[in-house]
Chains A and B, each alone.
Chain A
């Protein structure tokens, strides 16, 4: 084995490249993504341990091992495209796999291995291209040396290095062993955009075939030798069990162990069914310890009152009192949002094996670092003694990036009491819905002061919600130290795209016993919802067209304006619709991108039916238009599903939605026709997985306002009958 290394500059940050030949048979270019605040850590990683890497073997196969998890967003396909393009590898020869949980696979912007924030592709684009280009140049250099010609006369193309003048060529596989011993180029030349072969093409997903044949291994499909299955009876939050029928559980066929864990009572068995039946036999007695009688209905009342009092000042521009004095019209609205569950199709689960040497985990996860810390804490080992094999995820939507590693912590609590045995913790759907971490319940109170021309002279916006990361290790990343307000409460409001005169934004960061977590598009799920509904209400109050009204206020938001104009044009805004239908529009900037949507809505049995959604997205360079189209469709379905009917409510301390009959998500017959259009751009890629989610709810609400004259005041829409 031999090594060489280089530290080229990438996007102004340091990126480390290293080449290795393993057993003389492969070229491995390992690299770390250019970290922002944690260069020292990545330096150490680059100097020693395995890292994100591109491996080219003698058979010509190219394998990318990477720290981003596939949960359906298509990241493996997008990364493969970027690598294959810059490396000039044939598409059929590339593979992508999940990397192990090690610091070298951390996110470029956080000192953690995490998949979220719509950053997987945008954050890796240049670093991955640079590493692939370095590998390509090393192959070219090796071939040129063998032929005794200048490298500048050679060309890498589709898995070969060519010397056109003499009609000679080498397959990459024939070069890799020697190429790996060459110096890593410090400034590899990236291909110009005009030479891109795969980037920008609608290539098929690399995971479609296995997923269509039932061959993909999700976390719940892991089967280790000697594996046992476990379920845990859990009391409601803030409660405990005072008694249970342990012997009845032990008497169930297939149950092998029943014992207490801090979170409840674990039942282990030879099958999931045995564990489930054993758990049912426990019939525990529940005692509520604190906030007895907690209900989300009471919380909503408290929030509504709080929203009429001053909170922390997140933004204060201009003289609101003067604006109010000058105004000819006052518009006021309240918007109340429920807790939401993520409800991925695959309930949470984890296989854990605790032994003397450490902990082994098998699961689908967006948050390997959180999980590693949780497992280490529970098992009493160091994080580096916890290995994680990341499986495919049956959906994530943020739930599988729990800051406290709740799923893994519980799995290890069970497994450490069954040492040297792989135990699969299975969450029933009831566990998944009722013991979740939710999108926060929230309340918005908004007042606008409109001038004689109908446009705002001032906007006062108060938000009430639980913060997501305050008091945790991620606080510094998301809490504004000047205002003391976490971005998840006010993103989309403090930076709204409209010129509204004086802008005052207040936030009340509450505490409640219900645990909260990011949910696809995070704060924008309610912040941008309120903004986009309220701007529509202002337009109606002013007697103006909602589209024209928005455009008139977007002089400082050219990307939003461009995206909104594209969606409106493609939707035929203003053209006649069948009787009983109306259009609504919304535009939201999030995760670096802008998405505008126009929804066509009618009423069926007093509830909205969405027939068609025309979306436009501005997301910079589009690596794969088919993947982006899929993600926008998916985000619309996810956001629409929540807006129509989804809510998590608690009465007398207990979550009322126990399974999917009560947490009712979007079904096939409700799926609108969706068109996705792209704003042309050569800018670097920006987020795609989440930005399609925020606009759909307000777009439908605004169509309902146009159709019925009634604004939405409470979510989901099913809380009232529309007519």
Chain B
């Protein structure tokens, strides 16, 4: 099947029930998107499908055909993506860093819909993204920094 990732069209030979996560990681070698739970509980695998955040670990390739996918590797193509990554670096958010691809993808999606979110909106948008290092307070600060709030 054809799979458009970060503006590039790929021909992917994979079963249609394969979750997008494994097509990205094991077929296309785009390993910035992370595996954490396999059942949409941790958010580490978050990517954008048609610009909307989805958990790629439970999104089968059959549901992706013909729809553009954006991953952490491609998010800097937009000004907003660059701004969020810059805020993450400026706030020194990551510790182990493993969840941060997903956190950033969720944050970009939030800011696209709500350019100036309050704490409640941040909670709602990012509560599905687990961080076992407990970087949550810096995540919140980085979202505010990116939003200029």
- Give the residues in chain A near B26, CB-CB below 8 Å: 229, 270-273
Q: Flag A637-681 by CB within 8 Å of B: 1 or 0 each.
A: 110010000000000000000011100011111010110000000
**Given A665-B132, A669-B123, are A214 and B27 neighbors across the interface (CB < 8 Å)?**
no
CA distance A633 to B135 in the complex (A): 8
Query: Which residue of the partner chain, among A217, A229, A270, A673, contacts B137 with CB atoms under 8 Å?
Result: A673
CB distance from A248 to the nearest CB of B (A): 16
The docked-state distance in angstroms from the alpha carbon of A251 to that of B5 is: 30
- The interface-forming segment of A165-173, A310-318, A343-351 is A343-351
Interface centre among B35, B37, B133, B136 (most CB of A within 10 A): B133
Task: Mark A208-228 against chain B: 1 for CB-CB distance below 8 A, else 0.
Answer: 111111111110110100000
> Which residues of chain A have C-beta atoms less than 8 A from B138's C-beta?
630
> Is the Cβ of B34 less than 8 Å from the Cβ of A346?
yes
Distance to closest chain B CB from A303 (angstroms): 28
Contact between B32 and A215, CB atoms less than 8 A apart? yes
Q: Is A205 an interface residue (CB 8 A)?
A: yes
Q: Tell me whether A395 and B132 are in contact in the complex, defined as CB-CB below 8 angstroms, given that A344-B96, A345-B36, A347-B36 are known contacts.
A: yes
Chain A window 194-215, contacts with chain B (Cβ cutoff 8 Å), 1 for yes, 0 for no: 0000000000110111111111
B3 contacts partner chain A, Cβ-Cβ < 8 Å: no
Chain B CB within 10 Å — which of A214, A630, A638, A669 has the most?
A: A214
Best-surrounded residue of B97, B132, B135 (most CB of chain A within 10 A): B97
- Whether B54 sits at the interface, judged by CB under 8 Å, is no
Provide the A45-89 mask, 1 if CB < 8 A to any CB of B, else 0. Answer: 000000000000000000000000001111000000000000000
Q: Does A714 contact B (CB under 8 A)?
A: no
Residue of B nearest to A426 (CB): B35
Q: Choose one: B39, B96, B140; the contact of A72 (CB below 8 Å).
A: B96
Question: From B96, which residue of chain A is reached at the shortest CB distance?
Answer: A72
Where chain A touches its partner, the secondary structure class is loop
Taken together as a complex, chains A and B put the C-alpha atoms of A668 and B125 apart, in Å, by 10
The answer to whether B94 and A212 have CB atoms under 8 Å apart is yes
Instruction: Tell whether A638 pairs with B134 under 8 Å between CB atoms, given A213-B72, A220-B35.
Output: yes
Chain A residue at minimal CB-CB distance from B31: A221
Complexed CA–CA distance, A215 and B73 (Å): 8
- Whether the Cβ atoms of A344 and B132 lie closer than 8 Å is yes
Given contacts A229-B26, A428-B38, A671-B136, contact A212 B85 (CB under 8 A): yes
- Bound complex: CA A635 to CA B131 (Å): 12
Q: Does A429 contact B (CB under 8 A)?
A: yes
| B29 in contact (CB, < 8 A) | yes
A637 touches B133 (CB 8 A): yes
* Contacting residues, chain A, for B130 (C-beta < 8 A): 345, 660, 665, 667
Chain B interfacial residues counted at CB < 8 A = 55
Contacts of A704 in B (CB 8 A): none
| Cβ–Cβ contact B89 & A208, under 8 A | yes
* B44-102 with Cβ < 8 A to chain A: 44, 71-73, 76, 85, 88-89, 92-101
- Chain A CB within 8 A of B14 CB: yes
Query: A204 vs B92: C-alpha distance in the bound complex, in angstroms?
Result: 6
* Distance of A391 from chain B, by nearest CB (Å): 11
Say how far A307's CB is from chain B's closest CB, in angstroms: 31
Whether A668 and B140, one on each chain, are in contact in the complex, defined by CB atoms closer than 8 angstroms, is: yes
Q: How far is the CA of A218 from the CA of B33 in the complex (A)?
A: 11
Contact of A271 among B27, B71, B122, B132 (CB under 8 A): B27
Which chain B residues lie closer than 8 Å to A659 at the CB level? Answer: 37-39, 41
Does B126 touch A at the CB level, under 8 Å?
yes
Q: Does A99 reach chain B (CB closer than 8 Å)?
A: no
Please tell me the size bucket of the interface on A: 35 or more
Q: Tell me how many residue pairs across A and B have CB atoms closer than 8 Å.
A: 175
Q: Write the chain B residue with the least CB distance to A429.
A: B37
Give the interface SS of chain B, mostly helix, strand, loop or mixed.
loop
Interface presence of A397 (CB below 8 A)? yes
In the complex the two chains form, is A273's CB within 8 Å of B96's CB? no
Contacts of A229 in B (CB 8 A): 26
- B34 CB contacts on chain A under 8 angstroms: 218, 220, 345-346, 394
Contact string against A for B residues 110-149, beta-carbon threshold 8 Å, 1 for contact and 0 otherwise: 0000000000001100110111111111111000000000
Any chain A CB within 8 A of the CB of B18? yes
Residues of A within 8 A of B94 (CB): 72, 205, 207-208, 211-212
Kindly provide the distance from the CB of B7 to the nearest chain A CB, expressed in whole angstroms. 16
> Which residues does chain A contribute within 8 Å of B123, judged by CB atoms?
668-669
Q: Are the CB atoms of B27 and A345 closer together than 8 Å?
A: no
* Inter-chain contacts of A273 with B (CB < 8 A): 14-15, 18-19, 22, 26
**Complex partner residue of B92 from A208, A254, A429, CB under 8 angstroms:** A208
Contacts of B72 in A (CB 8 A): 213-214
CA separation between A397 and B96, bound complex, in Å? 11
Tell me the smallest distance from the CB of A624 to a CB of chain B, in Å: 11
The one of A207, A216, A272 that contacts B22, using a Cβ cutoff of 8 Å: A272
Whether A271 lies near B95 (C-beta < 8 A) is no
Which partner residue on chain A sits nearest B105 by CB separation? A214
Q: Give the CA-CA distance A697 to B99 in the complex, in Å.
A: 25
B88 contacts across to A, CB distance below 8 A: 208, 212
Which of A72, A220, A636 has the largest number of chain B CB atoms within 10 A? A72
**Chain A min CB distance to B30 (Å):** 8
Bound together, the chains give a CA A229 to CA B133 distance in angstroms of 28
> A208-B94, A214-B101 known; 16 other A-B pairs, CB under 8 Å?
A72-B97, A207-B94, A211-B97, A218-B98, A270-B26, A271-B27, A273-B14, A273-B15, A344-B96, A344-B132, A345-B98, A346-B34, A346-B98, A347-B36, A668-B126, A668-B139
State the 9 A-B residue pairs at the shortest beta-carbon distance, nearest first: A637-B134, A214-B32, A394-B98, A72-B96, A211-B97, A214-B72, A72-B95, A671-B136, A221-B31
Q: List 21 A-B contacts (CB under 8 A).
A: A72-B97, A207-B94, A212-B97, A214-B33, A220-B31, A229-B26, A270-B26, A343-B132, A344-B98, A347-B35, A392-B96, A394-B97, A429-B36, A626-B92, A630-B138, A637-B134, A637-B136, A660-B42, A668-B129, A669-B127, A671-B137
Binding site for B on A (CB under 8 A): 71-74, 204-205, 207-218, 220-221, 223, 229, 253-254, 270-273, 343-347, 392-397, 426, 428-429, 626, 630, 633-638, 641, 659-661, 665-669, 671, 673-674
